[in-house]
Amino acid sequence: MLADKPQLKSQKETYMKNLIAVSAAVLIASTAAFAQPTSSGRAEIMSSVPGNSATVADWYKQNVYDPADNKIGEIMDVLVSPEGRATALIVGVGGFLGAGEKDVAVPFTAIKHTMKDKKIYLTMDTTKDALKSAPGFKYDREKTTWVPDISTK
């Protein structure tokens, strides 16, 4: 019976080694499965940025001036098409410290981006009164989009 103990110990060791090996293989296989990309495509990565590009920060929360250098509003939002192109800007006009302000939509191309005294300077060929008389919009948090503001009609 003493001779059977080394053989039994050897069988237990072999069993444990196999169990550990199988467990490790399952763990590795499950980790690899979770690491697979969710889509068949690969993310496109750029090694440089276009030289003529500007950041959204050049527009967002920036003041807008008329041709006579009068402040006529502030960019409240930048609207982007499904293709990723900036298509419109929401301009806050009127009011004081946000109270009584009206948000209007203008085409992205309506506002000119320039530099003045080494700072971003946005201009628009319109007046504050023209913006105030434009249809107003409000942000709908449930729809996550801008909708007509019927309270400003």
Write the pLDDT tens digit of every residue in 96-109. Answer: 665 778 999 999 99
Q: What is the CA radius of gyration of the chain?
A: 31
Q: Where are the alpha helices (DSSP H) in 36-148?
A: 128-132
Q: Is the pLDDT of residue 33 over 50?
A: no
Give the Cα separation of 111 and 78 in Å (integer).
Answer: 12
What does pLDDT average to over the chain? 81
Q: What is the mean pLDDT of residues 8-18?
A: 59
Q: Give the pLDDT score at 32.
A: 46
pLDDT at residue 23 greater than cutoff 70: no
More confident residue, 147 or 41: 147
Q: Sheet of 111-116: strands edge to edge? A: 111-116, 119-124, 63-65, 71-80, 86-93, 102-107, 137-140, 145-148
- Taking the C-alpha atoms of residue 19 and residue 16, their distance in angstroms, rounded to an integer, is 5
- Write out pLDDT tens, residues 54-85: 888 888 999 999 999 999 999 999 999 999 99
Render pLDDT for 78-127 as a digit per residue (tens, 0 to 9). Answer: 999 999 999 999 999 987 665 778 999 999 999 999 889 999 999 999 99
Q: Helices in the chain by DSSP H: which ranges?
A: 4-35, 128-132
